[in-house]
Amino acid sequence: MINLKQFTFNPYQENTYVLSDETGECVIIDPGMYNGTEQNQLTSFIKEHQLKPVLLLNTHCHIDHVFGNKFVFDNWGLKPQFHKGELSLLQAVPGYAPQMGMHYELSPDPEVFLPETGSIAFGNSKLELIFAPGHSPAHLCFYAKEENFLIGGDVLFYRSIGRTDLPGGNYQQLIDSIKTNLFILPDDCEVFPGHGPSTTIGFEKQNNPFLV
């Protein structure tokens, strides 16, 4: 059984997730910790629950989702894993972070890239990969089938969708990704997005103004 813990970090109010199971192994997804206080929040939770981080995953590589990559690497020796189509986004961050007035510690590059489909395992648990480009060139979502929830990144939000005006964004591609790859999930699947509150697939089918 996968347990989910959500943190909201950095000036962009980005949701960082820690998934763990009964083995104590855990996965850190989209670490957005921006300062020492936020780093301590994550570390304290992991220590308090005696968790062992074994994977660092990025849904995509915009700055607000990778602020904490280096911190996770420094503390647990984990390099990020994401689809190779996001690498150019990650490598662009040091160039634009100062222009935005943001302090950014350089993330290591991956040793392992994730495919468009398949699954990744930790402990006794499994996450299925769902390819959903549009907000970014090679965005991945992570679906816990047994528990029926989705770590959705910046694809689908409560009554909204990810922005598509950033480099690599494509509005029609995003709409297609949601309708083709996310809306096939069960209506009661809970979606935990990169920003804001959780929602469900069924609610968004009925109420999302971009998708109705």
- The secondary structure of 149-181 as a DSSP string is EEEEETSEETTEE----STT--HHHHHHHIIII
Give one DSSP letter per residue of 25-58, joined into a string: EEEEES----SHHHHHHHHHHHHHTT-EEEEEE-
**137 in any annotated domain:** yes
- Beta-strand relationship, 14-20 and 3-9: antiparallel
CATH number of the domain encompassing residue 115? 3.60.15.10
Supply the range of the domain harboring residue 104: 3-207
Angle at 127 between CA 210 and CA 26, to 5 degrees: 115
Question: The whole model's pTM is what?
Answer: 0.98
Whether 69 is covered by a domain: the verdict is yes
**Span 15-55, pLDDT tens digits:** 999 999 999 999 999 999 999 999 999 999 999 999 999 99
Instruction: Tell me, yes or no, whether 212 lies in a domain.
Output: no
165, pLDDT greater than 90:
yes
Whether residue 76 is contained in a domain is answered as: yes
Q: Which of 188, 186, 195, 189 is nearest to 157 (CA)?
A: 195
Q: What is the pLDDT of residues 113-148, one digit of tens each?
A: 999 999 999 999 999 999 999 999 999 999 999 999
What residues have CB less than 8 Å from 136, skipping those under 6 apart? 60, 61, 62, 86, 89, 154, 166, 168, 169
Domain count, the chain: 1
The verdict on residue 84 lying in a domain is yes
**Is residue 145 domain-resident?**
yes
CA distance 77 to 71: 9
Mean confidence (pLDDT) of the chain: 98
Return the H-helix or E-strand segment holding 8.
strand 3-9
Q: Is residue 157 part of a domain?
A: yes
